[in-house]
Amino acid sequence: MTEPLILQPVKPADACVIWLHGLGADRYDFLPVAEALQESLLSTRFVLPQAPTLKVTINGGYAMPSWYDIKAMSPARAIDLEQLEASADRIIELIENERASGIDASRIFLAGFSQGGAVVLHTAFVKWQGALGGVLALSTYAPTFSDDMQLSASQQRIPALCLHGQFDGVVQNSMGRSAYEHLLKHGVTVTWQEYPMEHEVLPEEIRDIGVWLSERLR
């Protein structure tokens, strides 16, 4: 298993963002974003894990970095739930590592783009039962959310920021909006923000993320 890329801050770390890349990318994908955010988040450590290499059915069975296999695209994503659970367990290990290093759970954030965001949403609002600083869900969806899902009191207290492109042709805007509406319905303090972009990340979006994080790390 490839070790996460870890960016230590200039000041002693008292907060952490665990950031998951998307399908087919790697742990270096969001390194420039983490470096940019650390310019103002001077005591925040960034942990960038690497997805395992798995065969992905929708991509002809080719092996690539993937948090879980996607077996079909419609009407909704059909995924390998065991692999999703394994990825979520790995993220929980990273959370526990940060707690063991002295970072309070209320100052640990989970962020993820596309498939990585799906893992983050599942980890925070389905599996993890403790405190978290918040969740950043970028251009993503929530394959395990449902109308009858039950959130614990601690999960309801985890704030979330859902960001999506208006012209996303990979993960449709409506899929991201559905995840947001599920969280809203179940009592989570969640914000929806969309941008005139496709399946990508814009500088404006990163600035908004920096403001959101800074407000919660005062």
186 assigned to active site:
no
Rg (C-alpha) for the chain, rounded Å, is 16
Q: Which of 21, 122, 168, 182 is catalytic?
A: 168
Cα(201)–Cα(48) distance, rounded to whole angstroms? 17
Which phi and psi angles does 161 have, rounded to 5°? -125, 115
Which phi and psi angles does 193 have, rounded to 5°? -140, 125
Cα(157)–Cα(41) distance, rounded to whole angstroms? 23
69 assigned to active site:
no
182 assigned to active site:
no
Q: Which of 26, 178, 199, 208 is catalytic?
A: 199
Cα(166)–Cα(172) distance, rounded to whole angstroms? 8
Q: Which of 114, 122, 164, 182 is catalytic?
A: 114
Catalytic residues: 114, 168, 199
